[in-house]
Amino acid sequence: MSKQNDKELQDVEIEGMPQSISQEQLFAKMMDFWLEAAKLPTIGPLYAFSKDASSSTQELFNLGKTLLESKANADQYWVLINSAFAKAYKQTLENSPKKFSSKQDFETYRKVMIEAFEQTFTELFDSKEFAIVYGKLFSNQLDILKSLQGMAERSVKVLNLPTRSEVDEILRDIHDLKKSVRDLKGRLEEVNARNESTGQIAT
């Protein structure tokens, strides 16, 4: 029954949308539509509310899109891991002892298994394909974190507390100031040393 439902859902033709669209793309398109619909006028007495509300909505929809992207990348990641696992398992079965009647047989099995898994997974981690998928997944996680931070910052602003970005700006300023102080101290020491040596020569 559910299979039939899925089939029916796939067959539904949405105007202006190609039929072969993936589930993730469909959700992304829906989100874009609602994001557009949620836009409020940016002039007049509601300007401040409209600005805040639209950026919050934007952030929420972006988070939704990132979560979808992340799911797609996580699926790819697990496909790679699972296929490597299946390959290694097959190699282990092919090369391991057929009968387990002594400790030596278990030892041989362990060595064969470790060797097969090590080789297969190292090949996987060494591949460009894995690095790209992992990089994308990592990037998605960072995007999710960034969205959550953005939402949290808005709440902190309501409490009239300094936000993370404001503290970050101060950290950068302090770092730059420390450097300037160090440079100035160095130059001052140079000047003092030069003055001292000139004084000695003069006397």
Partner 1 sequence: MNPQGRLQPDQAQADKPQTGGEHVSGSPMLADGKASGLFAEYVESLLNIERVKSILHSAGSIEVGCTPSETLYETRAYRLLHYRQMVSKTAKTPILVIYALINKSYILDLQPDKSWIRSLLSQGFDVYLVDWKAPSSADKYVSFDDYVNCYIDDCVDIVRKKNKVDKVTLHGYCMGATMSVMYTTLHEEKVRNLATIAPVMDAEKDTTVIGNLARHMDVDKMLQSVGNLPSEQLYMCYSVLKPFKQGLNKYINLVQNCSNEQFVENFVRIEKWLYDTPPIAGETFRQWIRDIYQQNLLVKNEMKLGNETIDLTKITVPVLNIIAEEDHLVSPQCSAPLNDMVSSADKRLMRFHTGHVGLIASSYSQNNVLPKVGQWLKTRSQ
Q: Rule CB under 8 A: is residue 125 a binding residue for partner 1?
A: yes
Choose between 68 and 88: whose C-beta lies nearer to partner 1.
88
Q: How far apart are CA 134 and CA 142, in angstroms?
A: 12
Choose between 127 and 195: whose C-beta lies nearer to partner 1.
127
Please select the residue that binds partner 1; options are 93, 151, 156, 174, rule is CB under 8 A: 174
Number of chain positions touching partner 1 (CB under 8 A): 31
Q: Rule CB under 8 A: is residue 187 a binding residue for partner 1?
A: no
Choose between 38 and 97: whose C-beta lies nearer to partner 1.
97
- What is the DSSP-derived secondary structure letter of residue 18? -
Q: Rule CB under 8 A: is residue 145 a binding residue for partner 1?
A: yes
Tokens of 203: 């006397």
Neighbours of 116 (CB within 10 A): 20
Choose between 93 and 142: whose C-beta lies nearer to partner 1.
142
Choose between 23 and 104: whose C-beta lies nearer to partner 1.
104
Q: Could you tell me if 60 and 97 are in contact, meaning their C-beta atoms sit under 8 angstroms apart? A: no
Q: Could you tell me if 116 and 91 are in contact, meaning their C-beta atoms sit under 8 angstroms apart? A: yes
Q: Rule CB under 8 A: is residue 33 a binding residue for partner 1?
A: no
Q: Which stretch binds partner 1 (CB under 8 A): 2-10, 20-28, 29-37, 137-145?
A: 137-145
Q: How far apart are CA 153 and CA 202, in angstroms?
A: 63
The alpha-helical segments, DSSP class H, found in the chain are: 2-11, 23-37, 47-95, 103-126, 128-158, 164-202
Q: How far apart are CA 200 and CA 28, in angstroms?
A: 77
Q: Given the rule CB under 8 A, which residues bind partner 1?
A: 102-103, 110, 114, 117-118, 121-122, 125-128, 130-132, 134-135, 138-139, 142-143, 145-146, 149, 168, 171-172, 174-175, 179, 182
